[in-house]
A and B are shown apart, each in its own frame.
Chain A
Amino acid sequence: MSWFKRTSAGIKTQRGQQNDVPEGQWVKCQGCSETITRRELERQLLVCPRCQYHFKMSPTGYFNLLFDGDYEVFDDNIISADPLQFTDQKPYKDRLEATRKKTGLQDAAKAAVGLVGGYPISVSAMDFTFIGGSMGSVVGEIVARSIKRAYENKIPALVITQSGGARMMEGALSLMQMAKTSAHLTRLSEAGLPFFVLLTNPTTGGVTASFAMLGDIHLAEPGALIGFAGPRVIRETMGQDLPDGFQTSEFLLQKGYIDRIVDRRNLKDELAHLLALLLSK
Chain B
Amino acid sequence: MSQNIKLNLLEFEKPLYELEQKLEEMRALSHEDTGSDLSKTLQALEERVDELRESIYKNLTRWQRVQIARHPDRPYTLDHIDALTEGFVELHGDRLFGEDPAIVGGFGTFKGSRYGGKDQTVLILGHQKGRDTKTRKFRRFGMPNPEGYRKALRLMKMAARFDIPVITLLDTTGAFPGLEAEERGQAEAIARNLFEMARLPVPIVVVIIGEGASGGALGIGVGDRILMLENAWYSVISPESCSSILWRSWDYKEEAARALKLTAPDLIPFGIVDQIIAEPIGGAHRDPETTFEAVGRAIVENLTPLLSVPTQELLDNRLAKFDAMGTFSEV
Contact B330 A78 (CB under 8 A): yes
Q: A168-B246, A228-B187, A234-B177 are in contact. Are A247 and B182 (CB under 8 A)?
A: yes
Nearest residue (CB) in A for B194 is A182
**Which of A9-17, A43-51, A112-120, A133-141 forms contacts with chain B?**
A133-141
In the complex, B327 has a CB within 8 A of chain A: yes
Contact B328 A138 (CB under 8 A): yes
In the complex, A32 has a CB within 8 A of chain B: no
In the complex, B181 has a CB within 8 A of chain A: yes
**Which of B79-87, B105-113, B260-268, B291-299 forms contacts with chain A?**
B260-268
**Which of B1-9, B41-49, B156-164, B315-323 forms contacts with chain A?**
B315-323
In the complex, B270 has a CB within 8 A of chain A: yes
Residues of A within 8 A of B260 (CB): 84, 86, 168, 171-172
Residues of A within 8 A of B199 (CB): 183, 186, 190
Closest CB in chain B relative to A143 CB, distance in Å: 11
Nearest residue (CB) in B for A145 is B323
In the complex, B28 has a CB within 8 A of chain A: no
Contact B187 A137 (CB under 8 A): no
Q: A171-B261, A206-B214, A213-B192 are in contact. Are A83 and B329 (CB under 8 A)?
A: no
A172-196 to B contact mask, C-beta < 8 Å, 1/0: 1111111110111111011000000
By a beta-carbon cutoff of 8 Å, the part of chain A in contact with chain B is 77-81, 83-84, 86-89, 106, 137-138, 140-141, 144, 166-180, 182-187, 189-190, 205-206, 208-214, 227-230, 233-234, 237-238, 242, 246-247, 255-257
Nearest residue (CB) in A for B176 is A237
Closest CB in chain B relative to A42 CB, distance in Å: 31
Contact A184 B330 (CB under 8 A): no
In the complex, B237 has a CB within 8 A of chain A: yes
Residues of A within 8 A of B247 (CB): 88-89
Contact B326 A140 (CB under 8 A): yes
Q: Beyond the given A178-B191, A209-B186, could you list 15 further A-B residue pairs with CB under 8 A, ordered by the A residue number?
A: A78-B331, A84-B259, A87-B259, A106-B331, A137-B328, A140-B326, A168-B260, A173-B325, A182-B194, A183-B195, A184-B323, A211-B191, A227-B182, A247-B182, A257-B188
Return 7 A-B CB contacts under 8 Å, by A number. Answer: A81-B327, A86-B259, A88-B242, A170-B236, A172-B270, A229-B182, A229-B186
Would you list the 9 A-B pairs with minimal beta carbon distance, nearest first? A229-B177, A137-B326, A83-B327, A182-B194, A183-B198, A208-B187, A88-B246, A228-B187, A213-B191
CB-contact partner of A88 in B185, B194, B236, B256, under 8 A:
B256
CB-contact partner of B194 in A137, A141, A210, A247, under 8 A:
A210
Bound Cα distance A9, B65 (Å): 56
Bound Cα distance A144, B325 (Å): 11
Task: Report whether over half of chain B's contact residues are helix, strand or loop; otherwise say mixed.
Answer: helix
Q: A183-B222, A229-B177 are in contact. Are A213 and B327 (CB under 8 A)?
A: no
Residues of B within 8 A of A166 (CB): 214-215, 236-237
Residues of A within 8 A of B252 (CB): 88
Q: A185-B195, A212-B187 are in contact. Are A81 and B182 (CB under 8 A)?
A: no
Contact B222 A186 (CB under 8 A): no
Nearest residue (CB) in B for A86 is B259
In the complex, B305 has a CB within 8 A of chain A: no
Contact A179 B322 (CB under 8 A): yes
Nearest residue (CB) in A for B200 is A186
Residues of A within 8 A of B66 (CB): none
Bound Cα distance A144, B183 (Å): 28
Bound Cα distance A77, B270 (Å): 22
Contact A175 B195 (CB under 8 A): no
Contact A214 B222 (CB under 8 A): no
Contact A175 B222 (CB under 8 A): no
Residues of A within 8 A of B256 (CB): 88
In the complex, B218 has a CB within 8 A of chain A: yes
Contact B327 A172 (CB under 8 A): no
Contact B329 A79 (CB under 8 A): yes
Residues of A within 8 A of B272 (CB): 172-173, 176
